[in-house]
Amino acid sequence: MANRVFAPAKINLTLHVTGRRSDGYHLLDSLVSFAPVGDWLTVAPGDGLTLEVSGPEAAGVPDDMSNLALRAAALLAGHEGAALTLEKNLPAASGIGGGSADAAAALRGIATLSGEIPQGFLELPDLLMHRHAERILGLGADVPMCVLSHPLRARGIGERLGLVTLPDIAAVLVNPRLPVPTPAVFKALETRDNPPMPDTLPEFPDAASLIGFLARMRNDLEAPALKVEPGIRAVLDALAGQGGCGLARMSGSGATCFGLFLSEDDARAAAQALTEAHPGWWVASGVLGDCSELALPRPQ
pLDDT tens string, the chain, 300 residues long: the values are 899 999 999 999 999 999 999 998 899 999 999 999 999 999 999 988 999 999 999 999 999 999 999 999 999 876 578 999 999 999 988 999 999 999 999 999 999 998 888 777 779 999 999 999 999 999 999 999 999 999 999 999 988 999 999 999 999 999 999 989 999 999 999 999 999 999 999 999 999 999 999 999 999 999 999 999 999 999 999 999 999 999 999 999 999 999 999 999 999 999 999 999 999 999 999 999 999 999 999 998
The answer to whether residue 187 is catalytic is no
The answer to whether residue 88 is catalytic is no
Q: Is the separation of the CB atoms in 170 and 261 below 8 Å?
A: yes
Give the burial string for 100-132 (b: 16+ CB within 10 Å, else e). bbbbbbbbbbbbbbeeebeeeeeebbeebbeeb
Known binding-site residues for ATP equal 91-101
Residues of the chain with CATH 3.30.230.10: 3-165
Alpha carbons 8 and 15: distance in angstroms, whole number: 19
Give the burial string for 58-72 (b: 16+ CB within 10 Å, else e). beebeeeeebbbbbb
Supply the pLDDT for residue 155: 97
CATH class of the region 3-165? alpha beta
Q: Of these residues, 29, 142, 220, 290, which one is catalytic?
A: 142
Supply the pLDDT for residue 78: 66
Residues of the chain with CATH 3.30.70.890: 169-288
Supply the pLDDT for residue 115: 85
Q: What is the DSSP letter of 59?
A: T
Alpha carbons 88 and 86: distance in angstroms, whole number: 6
Alpha carbons 257 and 243: distance in angstroms, whole number: 16
What are the tens digits of pLDDT across the range 111-170? 999 888 877 777 999 999 999 999 999 999 999 999 999 999 999 998 899 999 999 999
Alpha carbons 264 and 217: distance in angstroms, whole number: 23
Q: Of these residues, 10, 29, 88, 220, which one is catalytic?
A: 10
- What is the CATH number that goes with domain 169-288? 3.30.70.890
Alpha carbons 114 and 76: distance in angstroms, whole number: 8
